[in-house]
């Protein structure tokens, strides 16, 4: 059986009496557990008369079941535990998954099986949830990737289910009709039973305990045999070129391949191909196209795959030069595929791929492991390498045997076409030709960080600006956090984007080596994070110093362009997520005064004034030498005296980020900073955040039906901690959303006053028990330590806050809610809309 010491051994599958297929992954020492259920039915299995029925049912299952009301169900339960959960309806399967503290796994599974087996499907809840799907449909109707896939379906084979509309909206879900209700119940009966479901569990529990939990779930599901489903053949229009109008998205070129009749091992073969096609290694496809100034990035997407049939898309983000030469880009990709399909590439690339997969699973979180192993043919130590190689050969032969469908997206005006789902402005174009180029492809360079040759030795002396925190992590993880502080009142978006661009290929290589590299722009500070496989971190830091200090000249040009692009909202990324990306800069930089332009001389001047501080956690003492040597080459000067913290001001600041882009939806963020820095204040706000999170979601999403993207939580951005409220809505204005948030806080005051004492005490006690990250949860422990230091606290701050939580009374939460409601430390609102007439600066 799979264990945490053997991350690439595929977990075996067993079938329980009712038919539930189960795979168990004991993770000794983990503080977290996870569950993933895959129902083998999706949007293509729903009745054709009711597009979106499968997606709609996925939503309805969260709205109450026989033994748990909506307020007691899986979503509020996992949220209350500080966990994570989600669900996804794809073409031929639907997934439900969550991760939470290990001691709560059984309670989570009880709720999961009850919602799958015994949903209420209340008519009133259906009417309300249909409006949520309508809001989601309207948002997706502006999403670039969604529209691209819809255009591909129309162009590839309009008779295949892939071309159909399956998201669902108000018009396709007639919940008032008896026939629809019969279809909904029929779909649930046909597919939501043990024979159609797989369960994967991961956690620190012994195998026998996990097995017992799986048996409980099997017993709670109806017993029926697996339903077999037929798939019509997929045909591709030969040599088709199309153009799709996308006004608020970055231009892209898509090469789509319709594949059919491939063996089951085509699944790992596609993952293998994707790894190398998107590789940013020197000499690889991406780097060569970038050096030729034709393309910024390359990736492979699979918008549809089932039973050896699918649509594989190579997506390129072209430069201006590449936009003018699409045929050259298409030919380059096909030429690289011919090179890569040669047998000579298999052995060296396969060995590197094995190291990459091994490192990606090493110390992966429980849910990450489950999402990998849910594919029964995912690469493992016992994979059939010959079968994968043969499948790769058949796969690339099909891709090269017929010209791909080419889809170009830009702002060019195209006619609207008639569709049954998402609106498309699409036109066909004559295929373009080019003279083939001899690219002289070579084997991409190996990733040196996958096999670091670290010479260990202890440091003679260390900088006081770098805090060392032990002990050594026994699972081999480490984390290095670095923060550069600048003068208050200026921001440097062009320069930060320059470094982000320059670090792009570095971050990719680090990720392959098991290290997450992230560069963050916090307005008047920049932060570099390296978290993961400890032995690789000193080499990575040492190797990227030249990039940080003196990026290549092309990065400055691209950095300025990225900063200009980032200043405008787009349909490439969900609107509320774009606002979240901007929020940290706006919290510490209220004036948002543009700073230096993207030039090497400007960056050099900025580094001269920067002061850095950092935290190294989890490293062995024998690694302090190479890590310290790398730190000594950091740009800027060590921060020996902490920066004085400013007192909060009771000012309401509103940031209108709409720019010139007209967006059909409104996104709104409200961040409420802590009024003081005491442990008791933080404890009160954190507990309050847990108490109101589910209520906020239920009020604004389910009852008021403002939109599908609604959440609230306590969080920290850089040194700023507080409460965050977020809403994206297709119907409500920013002012209306603000009114709803204020009304919710007012109503929460009444509810808190009426709440039973034992409910408040239990919430505070549970929050206290779970607040301090477990020693076995290295990521959470490192994150807490870094957040404490950034906020100007000692590393043991979480212990202090947890102790304060245990002493909280109703009055403490009442005071916290009043301070929150009255903006005692000010409010920061970010929206793609103008501020209210009064009360905001």
3-state secondary structure of 442: coil
Tell me if residue 331 is catalytic: no
User: Are 512 and 550 contacting, i.e. CB atoms less than 8 angstroms apart?
Assistant: no
In sequence order, the β-bridge partners of residue 594 are 491
Q: Is 467 helix (H, G, I), strand (E, B) or coil?
A: strand
Tokens representing residue 786 in the block: 């870094």
Q: Assign residue 837 a region (left: φ > 0; alpha: ψ between -120 and 50; beta: otherwise).
A: alpha
Number of helices (H), then strands (E), belonging to the chain: the values are: 27, 24
Q: Mind listing the pLDDT tens digit for each residue in 198-247?
A: 999 999 999 999 999 999 999 999 999 999 988 888 876 656 999 999 98
- Parse the chain into domains and list their residue ranges: 13-219, 241-365+372-436, 449-638, 652-831
Class of domain 652-831: alpha beta
CB 575 within 8 A of CB 728: yes
For residues 309 and 409, what is the distance between their CA atoms, to the nearest angstrom? 26
Could you name the CATH architecture of 449-638? 2-Layer Sandwich (3.30)
User: What's this model's pTM, rounded to 2 decimal places?
Assistant: 0.92
Say if residues 415 and 427 touch (Cβ distance below 8 Å). yes
What are residue 100's DSSP bridge partners?
33
Question: Which class for 642: exposed (0-12), middle (13-18), buried (19 or more C-beta within 10 A)?
Answer: exposed
Q: What is the CA radius of gyration of the chain?
A: 27
**Whole-angstrom distance, CA of residue 99 vs CA of residue 35:** 7
CA–CA separation, 14 and 596 (whole Å): 61
Q: For the chain, how far is it from start to end, CA to CA, in angstroms?
A: 60
Low-confidence residues of the chain, pLDDT below 70? 1-5, 236-239, 488-490, 589-596, 646-647, 660-661
Distances 294 to 136, 328, 329 between C-alpha atoms, Å = 35, 9, 7
CB atoms within 10 A of CB 692: 24
13-219: CATH superfamily? Metalloenzyme, LuxS/M16 peptidase-like (3.30.830.10)
Residue 212 has which token pair? 């017992």
Q: 536: closest CA among 379, 356, 781, 368? A: 356
Beta-ladder partners of 163: none
Task: Report how far residue 237's alpha carbon sits from residue 403's, in angstroms, rounded to the nearest whole number.
Answer: 9
Supply the pLDDT for residue 539. 95
* pLDDT tens per residue across span 106-142: 999 999 999 999 999 999 999 999 999 999 999 899 9
Distances (CA, A) of 360 to 68, 181, 363, 365, 497: 37, 44, 8, 10, 27
Helix (H, G, I), strand (E, B) or coil at 383: coil
At residue 3, the pLDDT reads 45
313: which 2 tokens? 């898309």
CB 729 within 8 Å of CB 665:
yes
SS3 47: coil
CB atoms near residue 168 (< 10 Å): 26
Per DSSP, what are the bridge partners of residue 257? 312
Given a contact cutoff of 8 angstroms between Cβ atoms, the answer to whether 326 and 253 are in contact is yes
Nearest to 94 by CA among 121, 131, 54: 54
Domain 241-365+372-436 fold is Cytochrome Bc1 Complex; Chain A, domain 1 (3.30.830)
Helices 493-502, 504-512: crossing angle, 10 deg rounding: 40
Cα–Cα distances in Å, from 121 out to 93, 673, 704, 795, 815? Answer: 20, 40, 19, 48, 39
* pLDDT tens, position by position, 243-267: 999 988 999 999 999 999 999 999 9
Question: Which pLDDT value is given to residue 233?
Answer: 87
pLDDT tens profile 654-680: 999 988 667 889 999 999 999 999 999
Spatial separation of the C-alpha atoms in residues 324 and 47, rounded to whole Å: 44
Residue 166, helix vs strand vs coil: coil
Same fold, 241-365+372-436 and 652-831: yes
Note the pLDDT tens digit of each residue in 25-54: 999 889 999 999 999 999 999 999 999 999
Residue whose pair of structure tokens reads 């496809």 in the numeric block: 285
- Distance (Å, whole) CA 358 – CA 587: 39
Cα(45)–Cα(183) distance, integer angstroms? 12
| Residue partners of 697: CB distance under 8 A and separation at least 6 | 75, 76, 79, 710, 711, 712
What is the C-alpha to C-alpha distance for residues 268 and 246, in angstroms, rounded to an integer?
33
């Amino acid at each position: 059986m799979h264990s945490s010491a053997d991350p690439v051994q595929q977990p075996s599958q067993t079938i329980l009496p009712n038919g539930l297929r189960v795979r168990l992954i004991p993770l000794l020492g983990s503080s977290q557990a996870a569950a993933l259920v895959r129902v083998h039915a999706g949007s293509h299995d729903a009745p054709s008369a009711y597009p979106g029925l499968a997606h709609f049912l996925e939503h309805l299952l969260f709205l109450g079941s026989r033994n748990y009301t909506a307020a007691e169900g899986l979503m509020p339960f996992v949220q209350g535990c500080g966990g994570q959960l989600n669900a996804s309806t794809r073409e031929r399967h639907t997934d439900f998954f969550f991760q939470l503290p290990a001691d709560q796994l059984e309670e989570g599974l009880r709720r999961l099986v009850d919602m799958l087996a015994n949903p209420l499907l209340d008519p009133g809840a259906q009417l309300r949830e249909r409006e949520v799907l309508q809001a989601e449909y309207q948002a997706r109707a502006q999403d670039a990737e969604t529209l691209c896939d819809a255009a591909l379906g129309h162009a590839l084979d309009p008779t295949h289910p892939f071309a159909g509309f399956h998201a669902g909206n108000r018009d396709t879900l007639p919940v008032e009709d008896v026939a629809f209700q019969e279809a909904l119940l029929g779909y649930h009966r046909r597919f939501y039973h043990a024979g159609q479901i797989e369960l994967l569990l991961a956690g620190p529990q012994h195998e026998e305990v996990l097995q017992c939990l799986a048996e409980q779930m099997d017993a709670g599901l109806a017993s029926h045999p697996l339903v077999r489903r037929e798939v019509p053949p997929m045909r591709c229009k030969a040599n088709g070129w199309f153009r799709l109008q996308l006004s608020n998205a970055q231009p892209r070129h898509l090469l789509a391949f319709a594949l059919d009749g491939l063996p089951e091992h085509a699944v790992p073969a596609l993952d293998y191909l994707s790894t190398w096609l998107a590789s940013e290694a020197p000499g690889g496809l991406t780097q060569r196209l970038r050096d030729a100034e034709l393309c910024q990035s390359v990736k492979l997407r699979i918008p549809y795959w089932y039973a050896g049939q699918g649509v594989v898309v190579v997506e390129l983000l072209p430069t201006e030069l590449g936009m003018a030469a699409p045929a050259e880009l298409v030919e380059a990709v096909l030429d690289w595929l011919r090179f890569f399909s040669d047998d000579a590439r298999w052995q060296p690339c396969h060995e590197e791929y094995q190291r990459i997969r091994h490192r990606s699973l090493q110390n992966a979180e429980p849910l990450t492991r489950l999402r990998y192993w849910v594919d029964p043919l995912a690469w493992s130590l016992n994979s059939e390498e010959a079968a994968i190689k043969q499948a790769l050969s058949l796969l690339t032969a099909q891709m090269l045997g017929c010209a791909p469908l080419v889809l170009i997206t830009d702002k060019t005006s195209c006619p609207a076409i008639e569709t049954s789902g998402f609106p498309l402005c699409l036109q066909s174009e004559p295929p373009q030709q080019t003279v083939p180029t001899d690219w002289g492809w070579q084997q991409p360079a190996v990733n040196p960080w996958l096999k670091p040759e670290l010479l260990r030795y202890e440091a003679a002396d260390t900088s006081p600006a770098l805090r060392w925190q032990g002990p050594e992590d026994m699972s081999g993880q480490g984390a290095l956090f670095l923060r550069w502080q600048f003068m208050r009142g200026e921001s440097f978006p062009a320069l930060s984007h320059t470094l982000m661009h320059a670090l792009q290929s570095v971050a990719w290589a680090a990720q392959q080596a098991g290290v997450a590299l992230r560069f963050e722009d916090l307005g008047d500070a920049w932060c570099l994070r390296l978290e993961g496989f400890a032995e690789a971190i000193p080499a990575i830091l040492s190797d990227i110093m030249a990039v940080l200090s003196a990026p290549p000249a092309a990065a400055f040009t691209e950095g300025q362009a990225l900063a200009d692009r980032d200043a405008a909202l787009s349909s490439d990324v969900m609107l509320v997520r774009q606002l979240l990306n901007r929020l940290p800069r706006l919290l510490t930089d209220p004036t948002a005064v543009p700073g230096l332009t993207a030039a090497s001389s400007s960056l050099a001047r900025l580094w001269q004034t920067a002061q850095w501080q950092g935290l190294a956690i989890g490293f062995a003492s024998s690694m302090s030498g190479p890590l310290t040597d790398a730190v000594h080459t950091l740009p800027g000067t060590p921060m020996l005296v902490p920066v004085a913290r400013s007192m909060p001001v009771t000012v309401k600041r509103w940031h209108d980020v709409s720019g010139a882009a007209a967006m059909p939806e409104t996104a709104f963020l409200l961040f409420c900073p802590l009024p003081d820095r005491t442990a008791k204040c933080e404890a009160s706000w954190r507990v309050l955040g847990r108490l109101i999170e589910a209520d906020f979601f239920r009020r604004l999403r389910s009852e008021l039906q403002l939109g599908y993207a609604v959440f609230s939580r306590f969080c920290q951005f850089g040194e700023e901690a507080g409460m965050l409220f977020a809403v994206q809505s297709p119907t409500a204005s920013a002012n209306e959303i603000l009114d709803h948030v204020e009304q919710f806080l007012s109503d929460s005051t009444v509810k808190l006053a009426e709440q039973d004492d034992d409910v408040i005490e239990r919430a505070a006690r549970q929050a206290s028990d779970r607040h301090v990250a477990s020693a076995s949860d290295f990521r959470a422990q490192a994150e807490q330590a870094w957040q404490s230091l950034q906020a100007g606290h000692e590393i043991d701050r979480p212990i202090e806050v947890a102790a304060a939580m245990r002493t909280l009374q109703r009055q403490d939460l009442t005071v916290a809610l009043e301070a929150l409601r009255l903006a005692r430390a000010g409010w920061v609102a970010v929206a793609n809309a103008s501020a209210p007439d009064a009360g905001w600066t």
